[in-house]
């Protein structure tokens, strides 16, 4: 891969190590509403969407959720993330290398703007990005391509000259639909459900964020 004109990052699971705690919260919450799920089931059937799509799928699978479940879960999730949201090891060093190379970078996430304000803001990262964009706020969450097309435009780059860093098949489909090459971050190995989904789309995988600068020819 030649050096891209811009790098577009997903947020949860790529920049912030927030997916694990959020999954644990979801598993406990849904079990309390009549839908016991394993981590494997959650990663296979629910990853890469929004909390709204989680609610739709959970109800279809038999969960008895109150009408205000989405809003209540967001409140619980925000409170949890505000206490502490870890970063993916090595990601700040990637940002440093991109800055040193003069390559702009942005965030395109299915998370809400408030979620990213909390998780990225506590580390002082928000000013480092050309844009921090939410597919939900745009009204077109992944796998629609809109959030990555907007992120590329914010970086002043043609989509085909960018690269997207994703950890979910849904996000990878958004990148590919936008005509943007994609690399799949698979920190838990090639056998995890998200990694298998990425590989099925033909997305090259890498397993450590410290390997990314070399893949981007930085």
pLDDT at residue 43 in the model = 82
Whose CA is closest to 141, among 2, 7, 10, 4?
10
Q: How large is the C-alpha radius of gyration of the chain?
A: 17
Is the fold of 6-17+85-215 the same as that of 19-83?
A: no
3-state secondary structure of 133: strand
Return per-residue pLDDT of the chain as tens, 218 residues: 889 999 999 999 999 998 888 889 999 999 999 999 998 888 888 876 788 889 999 999 999 999 999 999 999 999 999 999 999 999 999 999 999 999 999 999 999 999 999 999 999 999 999 999 999 999 999 999 999 999 999 999 999 999 999 999 999 999 999 999 999 999 999 999 999 999 999 999 999 999 999 999 99
Q: Are 147 and 174 in contact (CB under 8 A)?
A: yes
What residue spans of 33-126 are helical by DSSP H?
39-45, 51-60, 69-83, 91-101, 113-121
Where along the chain do its domains lie? 6-17+85-215, 19-83
Please say whether the structural domain 19-83 has been given the CATH code 1.10.287: no
Whose CA is closest to 182, among 216, 141, 131?
216
pLDDT at residue 40 in the model = 85
Whose CA is closest to 47, among 129, 166, 182?
166
For domain 6-17+85-215, which CATH number applies: 3.40.50.1000, 3.40.630.30, 3.40.50.1950, 3.30.1360.120? 3.40.50.1000
pTM exceeds 0.75, yes or no: yes
* Mode of pairing for the β-strands spanning 6-9 and 105-109: parallel
């Amino acid at each position: 891969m030649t050096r891209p004109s811009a790098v577009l990052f997903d947020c949860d699971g790529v920049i912030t190590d927030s997916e694990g705690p959020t999954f644990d919260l979801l598993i406990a919450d849904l079990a309390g509403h009549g839908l016991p799920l394993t981590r494997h089931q959650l990663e296979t059937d629910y990853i890469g969407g929004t909390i709204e799509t989680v609610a739709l799928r959970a109800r279809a699978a038999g969960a008895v959720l109150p009408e205000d479940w989405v809003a209540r879960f967001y409140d619980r999730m925000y409170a949890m993330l505000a206490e502490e949201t870890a970063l993916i090891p090595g990601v700040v060093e990637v940002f440093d290398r991109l800055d040193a190379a003069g390559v702009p970078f942005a965030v395109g996430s299915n998370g809400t703007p408030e979620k990213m304000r909390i998780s990225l803001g506590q580390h002082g990262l928000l000013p480092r990005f050309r844009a921090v964009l939410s597919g939900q706020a745009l009204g077109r969450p992944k796998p629609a391509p809109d959030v990555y097309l907007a992120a590329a435009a914010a970086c002043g780059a043609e989509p085909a000259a960018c690269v997207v860093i994703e950890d979910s098949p849904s996000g990878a489909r958004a990148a590919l639909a936008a005509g943007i090459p994609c690399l799949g971050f698979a920190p838990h190995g090639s056998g995890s459900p998200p990694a298998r989904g990425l590989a099925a789309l033909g997305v090259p995988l890498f397993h450590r964020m410290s390997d990314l600068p070399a893949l981007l020819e930085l």
